[in-house]
Structure 1
Amino acid sequence: MSQATDPRSNGVDPSRLDEDDLLRELNHLYTTRMDTLRHGSDNAFSEHTRRMNQYEAEYLRRKPAREIDPERLRAGARAR
């Protein structure tokens, strides 16, 4: 059984994923977030949060100069 499918593992290290796989995993985490919050055990929600933080940190490490939408800044919100 591979580390990615072994339920006892902590999953694949996000730094080992290529760009497409990292984005796919992030998308999956965001898709399952509400269901985990509403229906998962405390442990499941905690693990989901831990993994989401790992994947987001890896994305930010790779994209420190990512494009920031001015509408997502405080000044942009005030202008609306």
Structure 2
Amino acid sequence: MRRCGPTQELDETPGPGLRRRGTMTDARGDAPLMETGIDPATLGDDDLFRELASLYRARLATLRHGPDAALSNHFKRTAELETEYITRYPSREVDPDRLTQDF
């Protein structure tokens, strides 16, 4: 097996790690993987928040020291996860103390 990420593996031979037409799944075989990870739409809220937190922790190191491909994947994954968050919480609370100007 080949590692696809911290918790994902891909079978090199057809089986539970591969779906028809080559769509990868996570190690359990139940969540489809996107090019940069598990499809955010299939994540529960806790998993989505955990993925976002992990991504933000790795951000500076990826920006400063990662190769171009890693930075590109980071941008894509950030967009995927943040878009899913905004889709789920379009009316999220905005802390007025965080505003820098009146909107």
Structure 1 length as normaliser, TM-score? 0.82
**Counterparts of 1:1-80 in structure 2 under 5 Å?**
1=10, 2=17, 3-4=25-26, 10=35, 11-73=37-99, 74-75=101-102
> Alpha-carbon deviations, 1:23-44, whole Å to 9, x = none?
0000000000001001100110
> How far does residue 72 in structure 1 lie from its aligned partner after superposition?
2.1
> Alpha-carbon deviations, 1:36-76, whole Å to 9, x = none?
00110011001101001100000000001110011222139
**Which protein shows a greater Rg?**
2
- The structure, 1 or 2, with the larger RCO (C-alpha pairs under 8 Å, 6+ apart) is 1
| Stretches (4+) displaced over 2 A | 1-5
Could you tell me which runs of 5 or more consecutive residues in structure 2 were left unpaired when the two chains were aligned. Answer: 1-9, 11-16, 18-24, 28-33
Structure 2 length as normaliser, TM-score? 0.65
Q: What number of residue pairs does the alignment pair up? A: 73
Whole-angstrom distance in 2 between the partners of 1:55 and 1:48: 11
Give the direction of change, closer, same or farther, for the CA distance of 1:72–1:65 in structure 2 (3 Å limit).
Answer: same
Q: Percent identity?
A: 47
Q: Which has the higher helix share?
A: 1
